[in-house]
Structure 1
Amino acid sequence: MSHIKLSPRLAAVAQLVETKQKMADIGSDHAYLASALVEQGKVAKAIVGEVAEGPLQNAKSTVSSQGLTGSIDCRLADGLAALSKTDEVETVVIAGMGGLLIKKILEDGQSLGPFQQLVLQPNTDQEALRAWLVQNGYRISQEKMVAEGVHHYEIIVAHPGQQKLSAEDLTFGPFLRKDKGPVFVAKWQHERDRLALVLKRLEEAQQTNSMKYAEVKRAVGQIEKELD
């Protein structure tokens, strides 16, 4: 048995998981994160939830090969239906999905919460996920952005509580926009350049009076203001 080596994205997620007795990873990507956290002694037990049989078998294979079947329970279920209140899960990780899907998973499982800690890594629609959190009894307590290849991943940590966020906080992240690290700058420069190309195509198509043009132009202005 060799210890699990996590990708930069999952390693960043693992660093943000608080030391707890029990965590759950929903949509686990071969149960790598849960296995690594148990091996490190950061959590005592973990539940892995998978919505399809193939990914579930992949997770079980990893857990078995690492000799962790006594510490990690792999379950077939849709989202937070993998859990019950009697599981006494403290931290829930949902990583590598679209923000709208993560939002739906949390929404559907509200009867189980609030959880002591959420560690979320949305690939898209981060703004909508942040808005859901602050509207549903969570406060964002920490954020991190990590680069992996050409991708820039945002990780959002939330705890139960109240919080008010500005429109800019929702879009760029209250902590990320304060730190403005190199990965943050690279991501939003890339997004600004992408949207600038959209504007150019709309101009070439003589669509400067369209709602789409106004929306994209406003977004470019918002990004440039944030970067400046």
Structure 2
Amino acid sequence: MNEKLLSNRLHMVARYLPAKAYFADIGSDHAYLPCYVCSIDPTAFAIAGEINEGPFQSAKNQVKALNLTSQIEVVKGNGLEVIGNYPVRQIVIAGMGGGLIRSILDSGKDKLSKIERIIAQPNVDAHLVREWFSTHHFQLVSEQIVKEDGHIYEILIADNGDGLIGYQDLGKELLFGPHLLREKNEAFIEKWESEKNKRLRVIEQMKQARNINFEKIASFKQEVKEIEEVIEGAGDNTCP
């Protein structure tokens, strides 16, 4: 397996899969992640799930080309339905919006009773995934935030358990991430500086409206204040 085919964020995702993993990669595209994991761990097994015909065929070709057909099953289907009766223990959902990831998990709740770990990499709206974990018995055990090709990505790792363990200030930590708040690395600061500026631009635009929504403006101002408090405390390495 050519490691160059795998992005840095997917390398990080792979690190959170255990040895002898039996995982489903939902929206697997070309099956790069399953191929990488199974090529370095001959005891691993993966389901590469794809709903679209083009990527489904690409994944099948990739798996066959690398002689990994004994370890990787490429399955066409929607969301978690690709798990079927396979004894999957881990799930990866990467490269989608947080809303879509939440919808996939919600639609496939009946498939999750024996799942030990979910690794989610939302492109946006990571807070929606954290909220889902917190109310569906998946404990957020680790988070990473990385910058790649000009974009900033969050990776959330949740294990089956009490979804509310580890939160001290639920509202704030669902938005920013409890583990990310403790580290506040460079990518974290850059992301939230950008998010603050987006909100400031929206506030200015809303002030120009014919009918000004003062309640909505106040809400955005409160979010800006929260972001500023988090960013200003970036040097203390403590969770607010």
Taking structure 1 as the reference length, the TM-score comes to 0.93
The aligned counterpart of 1:179 is 183
The aligned counterpart of 1:167 is 171
The aligned counterpart of 2:238 is none
Q: Distance in 2 between the 1:209 and 1:3 partners?
A: 53
For residues 152-207 of structure 1, the C-alpha deviation after alignment (integer angstroms, 9 at most, x for no partner) is 10000000111423101100001011111111111111111121122222234476
What's the % identity of the aligned pairs?
A: 36
Distance 1:15 1:71, change over 3 A: same
For residues 25-71 of structure 1, the C-alpha deviation after alignment (integer angstroms, 9 at most, x for no partner) is 00012100010001111752110110111110111121122121121
Give the letter for the 1:73 counterpart: E
Q: Contact 1:23 / 1:90 at 8 angstroms: preserved in 2? A: yes
Answering whether residue 37 of structure 2 is matched by residue 11 of structure 1, we say no
Answering whether residue 212 of structure 2 is matched by residue 213 of structure 1, we say no
Task: Give the Å deviation of 1:209.
Answer: 4.8
Task: Give the Å deviation of 1:21.
Answer: 3.6
- Secondary structure of the residue aligned to 1:162 is coil
Kindly tell me the number of residue pairs found equivalent between the two proteins: 226
Alpha-carbon RMSD: 1.7
Task: Give the Å deviation of 1:211.
Answer: 2.9
The aligned counterpart of 1:94 is 93
Taking structure 2 as the reference length, the TM-score comes to 0.88
Q: Within 5 Å, which residues of 2 pair with 1:109-124? A: 109-114=108-113, 115-124=115-124
Answering whether residue 40 of structure 2 is matched by residue 27 of structure 1, we say no
Q: Contact 1:19 / 1:42 at 8 angstroms: preserved in 2? A: no
Q: Contact 1:48 / 1:74 at 8 angstroms: preserved in 2? A: yes
- Secondary structure of the residue aligned to 2:120 is strand
| Structure 1, unpaired ranges of 5+ | none
Q: Within 5 Å, which residues of 2 pair with 1:120-135? A: 120-135=120-135
Distance 1:135 1:222, change over 3 A: same
